[in-house]
Structure 1
Amino acid sequence: MRIAVVGLGVVGASAARSLALAGAEVTVFERTAPAAGTTGTSFAWINSHQKNPLAYHELNVAGMAEHAALQEPGGQWYFPGGNLEWAHGPGRERLAAAVAELRARDYPVEWISARRARRLVPDLRVPDGVEEVAWYPSEGYVLPVALLARLWGEARDHGARLRCPEEVTGLSRERGGARVTLADGGSAYFDAVVLAAGRWSEAVAHLAGMPLPMADPEAPGSATVGFLGCTAPLPTRVGSVLTTPELNVRPEGGGRLVVQGLDLDAAADPAAVPAPDGPQAQELCARLRNLLEGTEAARLESLRVGQRALPADGLTVAGFHTDGVVYALATHSGITLGPLLGRLAAEEVVAGKESPLLAAFRPGRFAGVDKATLPPPVPARFAGQQ
């Protein structure tokens, strides 16, 4: 089969890899550059927290397992170091309910003491009054661009080709397949097309007549936008994800840390990216100094406004359009789910093997739906929400 993939973030790279491994002749069209979209601005926490309904939780758990299965000895992209979380005031009740729900689903989580939390992360400063910390041992994080390199490198090893920069401007059915038209006026025929265009999925799907409503990735303060800071190298010991009321933290390699303050995201605006030494950056660094020893000289090397790929109803999209030729992948959980979605999509496209894990996430659910009637997704403002 000759198959086109539109987009080269983690999801597109995963689809390209699995399709190439299945024997397909794969061509990837990327408009600007690999990892130019959400992949490059993701907190990249591998988890299945507050992923409802149950089918979405189960999909994310399977996504976590896919990362573990994909990891090779000495791999430098996946770090299953667990996650520590605590809460203050009314947040304690919210956290307790979330932990109880996860336990009922047999998800690995336990309550540990502040002392044990400090043994797991030696430089951790647990605030006074926090007696119990939620520990999620099966969680972790990835380095998104390193993950993309692993996936795309293997796809390329098996014959996949990249056309970049190359913008897809048309998708039309032809002779049982699809013709892909490009911005330069050229075109090519393929037996199938996999859309993995991230936050641009709605516009690209529209080219094929597929309704795929996405939340507005440009809306200031919405669920689709948030600050993401990266520090200069710091002499602090942390190998786990930290999701706390004031700050989320994960290692980035080379002593750098990725930091995120969800309550600050209410002021995030893609049209007004703040300076890495401005008020938002200073606040993130102050919170980091309160959270970890060895961060007294913390400063940000970069502060970005990430723009999330978020289907309008908040849930993953995976499946064929009615023509059985154009296959769409769009998800808010692109890092956790990317390797799994790529493999399952390849099985469905090449072998016609439908996955029960994807049954609740078909694009057909949007047929006849007026996007304006869908409530906007609720922004993540508390630890564990994203």
Structure 2
Amino acid sequence: MIETHSRVIVGGGLEGLAIAWSLADRGDTDIVVLERDTLCSGMTGKSSGVVRCHYGVPSLAAMSRYGIDVFTRATELFGDDMGFQQCGYVVGVGADNVEPLHANVAMMRDLGIEVDLVDHDTVAALWPGLHLEDFAAFAYEPLGGRGEAYLTGMAFAAAARRLGVRIRQSTPVRALLPRPDGEVYGVTLADGSEIHADTVILAAGPWTPALAAGAGVDLDIKAQRAQLILVDQGAPTPVVPVLSDLAGLSYLCREPNGEILYGNSDHSVPQYIDPDDYVNRADESTIDTAIAELGHRLPDMPDPRITGSYVGAYDVTPDYNPVIGPAPVDGLFLAAGFSGHGFKISPAVGKLAADLILDGKTDLPNVDPHDFRWSRFAENDPLLSPHPYRGAGEMR
């Protein structure tokens, strides 16, 4: 059996659903989204949901700022608040990273992003009880905060369906369908049936490289283990900003129930995993590190205990930045390798992809599509921050 559509999107996670909604919102509605399991059941559901514009790459900072606009207007746009809480975002650095902090804040201000350099007293008032003596400087984004990737993806899905997009769950894609000249004209499903399309959009997270390889496209994307730990302080944490601790190379977020989510910002020795076969809990060494760092950063916790942990996978490229754009073969569009940035930029990813597919260009302010081209790796032109943070440059 052969089915035909204008667009096929492989991957029913956050990015694929954002692209589906953005295309449909522009009137391009003959779309089918194919998800091998249930919507947002892959790495979308493992996202920590941090929202920040603090990047050294201007295009990423601008994409995050666009995302904040969508998140704050979510009820108006989608009839759903997407779980976004604008609690603010603080990044603190040690003495060796003061210079890049100042440079990145200046760049963000040039883009119109609301960010300030703040002092120790300001941060102490924003999050009482933090040990701050080993920080040399801080930046604060009042519009940053915390969202829910699963809720965001489902809001995109519901809005796309209302516009006519078809979404098929429990529909694994076996392979892409290439012509002899390399052009991709559809996909083969696990049941042997085919779906043909003018454009196949590959947005399958860490599962993307295996599918792309079937069309002769080599994507150097690995699944990097990301461990997250939940901690109850012994009393509910009040509403506080997200803290990016670049002195201790970790980040802390307040959960909606008042617990704290601890994540690692040190990617100097990455662990790679099979996204279909890994242990979904933090290992002992990571737990030990989290206990030590939390005890240092929050020394007055009344009765701390770990309440749980889980593991996701960043789909990382060599430069820790995504590939968004046409593949080197006709008929195939790539949206993968988000390297931990995907949640906060997902609204902009949807718009950028829709603009490039329909127009070949974008009007996203301060975003250069050339930055995210597939060919940059072969060209030895990785997308890197001009002002990286020592010890945490990969994610900034």
TM-score bracket, shorter-length normalisation: 0.7 to 0.9
- TM-score calculated relative to the size of structure 2: 0.79
Which amino acid counterpart does residue 117 of structure 1 have in structure 2?
V
CA distance in 1, matches of 2:330, 2:371: 16
Question: 2 CA distance for matches of 1:45 and 1:328?
Answer: 24
Cα distance in structure 2, aligned partners of 1:320 and 1:39: 23
From 240, 247, 250, the counterpart of 2:253: 250
Q: Tell me which residue corresponds to 1:346.
A: 354
Matches within 5 A, 1:252-271: 252-263=255-266, 266=269, 268=271, 270=273
How does 1:312-331 map onto structure 2 within 5 Å? 312-321=318-327, 324-330=330-336, 331=338
- Asked if residue 58 in structure 1 is aligned to residue 36 in structure 2, the reply is no
Hey, what does 2:222 align to over in structure 1? Answer: 216
Structure 1 residue 305, shift from structure 2 partner: 3.4
1:225 and 2:230 matched: no
1:359 lines up with 2:369 in the alignment: yes
SS in 2 for 1:309: strand
Per-residue CA deviations over 1:334-354 (Å, capped at 9, x if unaligned) read: 1122112113323443x4352
- TM-score, normalization by structure 1: 0.81
Q: 5+ unaligned residues in a row in structure 1: which ranges?
A: 218-223
Structure 1 residues 146-185: aligned runs within 5 Å: 146-172=151-177, 178-185=185-192
Deviation at 1:108, TM superposition (A): 2.6
Structure 1's 231 and 8: CA in aligned 2 closer, same or farther, altered over 3 A?
farther
1:264 and 1:361 mapped to 2: Cα distance? Answer: 22
Native 8 Å contact 1:82 1:241 kept in 2: yes
Which residue in 2 is equivalent to 1:220?
Answer: none
Tell whether 2:96 aligns with 1:85: no
Q: Partner letter of residue 342 of structure 1? A: G
In structure 2, relative to structure 1, the CA distance for the partners of 1:70 and 1:155 (3 Å cut) is same
**Deviating more after overlay: 299-308 vs 8-17:** 299-308
Equivalent position amino acid for 1:226 in 2 = A
SS of 2:261's partner is strand
Query: Residue 20 of structure 2 aligns with which residue?
Result: 16
1:300 pairs with one of 306, 314, 322: 306
| Cα pair distance change 1:36/1:11, threshold 3 Å | same
Instruction: Quote the offset at 1:308 in angstroms.
Output: 1.0
Q: Aligned-pair distance for 1:322?
A: 5.0
For 1:96-143, what per-residue CA distance to the aligned partner results, in whole angstroms no more than 9, with x for missing partners?
44434444555332222322223323x342433657532122322211
Q: State the shift of 1:6 in Å.
A: 0.5
Contact residue 86 and residue 133 of structure 1 kept, 8 A: yes
- Of 128-137 and 152-161, more deviation after overlay is shown by 128-137
1:236, 1:128 → 2: CA distance?
21
Letter in 2 for 1:241: V
User: Structure 1 residues 347 and 279 mapped into 2: Cα distance closer, same or farther (>3 Å)?
Assistant: closer
- Which residue number in structure 1 is paired with residue 6 of structure 2? 2
Aligned equivalents of 1:110, 1:126: Cα separation in 2? 21
Q: Deviations over 1:239-267 (max 9, x none)?
A: 31111123311123222322113248747
Contact 1:86 1:92 in 2 (8 A): no
Distance 1:353 1:324 in 2: 13
SS in 1 for 2:312: strand
Structure 2 unaligned spans of 5+: none
1:190 aligns with one of 192, 197, 215: 197
Who is 1:110 aligned against?
116
Q: Decide whether the 8 Å contact of 1:30 with 1:167 is kept in 2.
A: yes
Kindly provide the CA deviation profile for residues 169-226 of structure 1, in whole angstroms up to 9, marking residues without a partner as x: 222257x982310122121222322111112222222233334x23322xxxxxx333
> Structure 1 residues 232, 127: closer, same or farther in 2, change over 3 A?
closer
**CA 1:254–1:380 in structure 2 vs 1: closer, same or farther (change >3 Å)?**
farther
Does residue 238 of structure 1 match 2:242?
no
Paired amino acid for 2:216: G
Does the CA-based 8 Å contact 1:262-1:383 persist in structure 2?
no
Give the 3 Å change call, closer, same or farther, for CA 129–262 of structure 1 in structure 2: closer
RMSD (Å), alpha carbons: 3.6
* Contact 1:32–1:164 (Cα < 8 Å) also in 2: yes
Which of 129, 133, 137 is the equivalent residue of 1:128? 133
Query: How far 1:382 sits from its partner (Å)?
Result: 3.5
**In 2: Cα distance, 1:241 partner to 1:265 partner:** 22
